Structure 1
């Protein structure tokens, strides 16, 4: 196989010498990987060199752009949906707050186009969670557009919408290390969304991801990192927030008490299986469950509502989320979601 259009020695030398590569080189390299223009040895060499060099906004945005260009797109019909996602890699095994948050936001009228995969670091990835909830995850754009129009929520299972990723998956598996592809997925929603909450497991990624988001044209982006090292809004400690709003970046921190919430030990939020995560979510939305689960979910739903512009502050978002959890709004929405899934996707 020819390494089409890629000067491999130049790229490797630039990365290994510390000179680095820019957006256009990153985009071209990623496109060649996804199109079959690079052989496995070259892909492996570049991925390892990129890991050694470190992630930059140019590299992340370049790879995300190539992934967006190669994906199967979804027409959002002018609904301006949001997404909630995390880079994974935190190893915390917490219940799935980002997917729960997306469902709460959707129950309050925020269009949500949730893009995700199976578990990376938690014991319940978004696909695992929704599948356990009874949602069919393997549908295509037509069904997703039906769901989004009918009920204001659709899930896009990443392997279904990014078939070109199959070309690099064997190499990634053989390498067995985190690569740039672990970061770009959350920025490659096939709906080309403009508003998002994005969690990162390492604080050094806050600037990288918000800067990459700015390059990709996000209108509003909240990049969050919570103590003790989770890619969610935390109720166990401080959360660092990098907020991008129409090109203006603001950085701040939030404590659970700032949101009107108690502080909990992370162990209280951990789960063993996707089914346990769903069971605990269902317990909360039906008036029971643990206060720690409710508050963790509500804190992350607040970020989603704030990113969507539905509330003026994160604290207002927490109050709206808790009310929706307690008054049956979310439980009613889950029933509507299952009905819509049966109508649009052929499965309850």
Structure 2
């Protein structure tokens, strides 16, 4: 007979390992929503033995979590998130928190350009998140002289004041941040890397993300649908570089979900001005954040009109299109280029620095 823990329930991680998720690659089963929620509550409370927690995370990585499990993990995480809604309804950009190590981080520039075009944007990240512990949104903003270690209410004010806002994980999602050491000791990504990107701290109605394979985009949409916390209107995802929300040059897929309807389509980025290769967006691997910041400022001020400017404009267009502020990516691209040419994007950057 199972022993019921008065605080959590009857499914400690060790039992889930031996009876459900850890029995082997062919015999492992998916957890019920209730089991997954109990597991996440125990994890966030620091209850599991460290060895058991590592084994549980690894078993789930091998098994592959389904959307119901991810939604359960997300809903428990949401119970601990400090949400701060701006007055505007922004696009939520949740790139992989463990960052990029080879190509420029374009999301800051793209978000600022979109904001200047009238599409408010929210980005969020931590600081050197495992496993890669590479450069993310925070580090580019730091290099640009923009405050990042904000309280959630300050982040919401930043969105309303400038059109662009940054939310800092240790302040809005402290229980996930508290797992940093355990995640670092794993050496591989876990399902926490997935769910932290959809915390949506501004409670936006539109989410923009990326995927390697279309099946992952479908799984994330199903996760949003299964979540009892999220109430999104629209999700747009595309094949990104290094798992980040920077669209991949060349042939790529875009997936969109609006109020329960899923669709996907293919684009050639050359048709939108990105007529170059993946490696053409490479930067100094020893200074990804610094190079990305210098590129961002030069693009926003109109000093660069090269491949990086084209890439920032297209990524801004995707954000504008995601929020339905443009009827097509092409229309969004025209709005993005106007925001740069008019000086509006440079003005948003200065507003961010002054915030």
Q: Structure 2-normalised TM-score? A: 0.86
Q: Which residue of 2 aligns with 1:58?
A: 68
Task: State whether residues 106 and 296 of structure 2, in contact with CA within 8 Å, keep that contact through their aligned partners in structure 1.
Answer: no
Q: Equivalent residues in 2 for 1:85-104 (5 A)?
A: 85-87=94-96, 93-104=102-113
Q: Which residue of 2 aligns with 1:245?
A: 258
Q: Deviations over 1:135-154 (max 9, x none)?
A: 11111123223222322322
Task: State whether residues 273 and 310 of structure 2, in contact with CA within 8 Å, keep that contact through their aligned partners in structure 1.
Answer: yes
Task: State whether residues 97 and 197 of structure 2, in contact with CA within 8 Å, keep that contact through their aligned partners in structure 1.
Answer: no
Q: Equivalent residues in 2 for 1:262-281 (5 A)?
A: 262-272=274-284, 273=287, 274-281=289-296
Task: State whether residues 106 and 152 of structure 1, in contact with CA within 8 Å, keep that contact through their aligned partners in structure 2.
Answer: yes
Specify whether residues 61 and 331 from structure 1 end up closer, same or farther in structure 2 by C-alpha distance, changes over 3 A only.
same
Q: Which residue of 1 aligns with 2:322?
A: 307
Q: Deviations over 1:67-110 (max 9, x none)?
A: 22111221333x22212232367966221122222111112222
Task: State whether residues 83 and 197 of structure 1, in contact with CA within 8 Å, keep that contact through their aligned partners in structure 2.
Answer: yes
Q: Which runs of 5+ in 1 are unaligned?
A: 342-348
Secondary structure (helix, strand or coil) at the match of 2:31 reads: coil
Task: State whether residues 93 and 122 of structure 1, in contact with CA within 8 Å, keep that contact through their aligned partners in structure 2.
Answer: no
Find 1:261's aligned residue among 245, 270, 273: 273
Q: Which residue of 2 aligns with 1:35?
A: 45
The alignment status of 1:199 with 2:210, answered yes or no, reads yes
Task: State whether residues 48 and 179 of structure 1, in contact with CA within 8 Å, keep that contact through their aligned partners in structure 2.
Answer: yes
Structure 1 Cα separation of the partners of residues 158 and 95 of structure 2? 23
Displacement after TM superposition at 1:125 (Å)? 0.8
The alignment status of 1:135 with 2:146, answered yes or no, reads yes
Aligned residues: 336
Q: Structure 1-normalised TM-score? A: 0.88
Q: Equivalent residues in 2 for 1:1-348 (5 A)?
A: 4-5=8-9, 6-12=11-17, 13-16=19-22, 17-77=27-87, 79-87=88-96, 93-118=102-127, 124-215=135-226, 216-226=230-240, 230-232=243-245, 234=247, 236-258=249-271, 260-272=272-284, 273=287, 274-339=289-354, 341=355
Structure 2 Cα separation of the partners of residues 9 and 235 of structure 1? 41
Specify whether residues 231 and 336 from structure 1 end up closer, same or farther in structure 2 by C-alpha distance, changes over 3 A only.
closer
Displacement after TM superposition at 1:282 (Å)? 1.1
Secondary structure (helix, strand or coil) at the match of 1:221 reads: strand
Q: Deviations over 1:21-58 (max 9, x none)?
A: 13332222112211223332332121111111113212
Displacement after TM superposition at 1:192 (Å)? 2.3
Structure 1, 86-95 or 184-193: larger mean CA deviation: 86-95
Displacement after TM superposition at 1:18 (Å)? 2.6
Q: Which residue of 2 aligns with 1:346?
A: none
Taking only aligned residues, the RMSD between alpha carbons, in angstroms, comes to: 2.4
Q: Which runs of 5+ in 2 are unaligned?
A: none
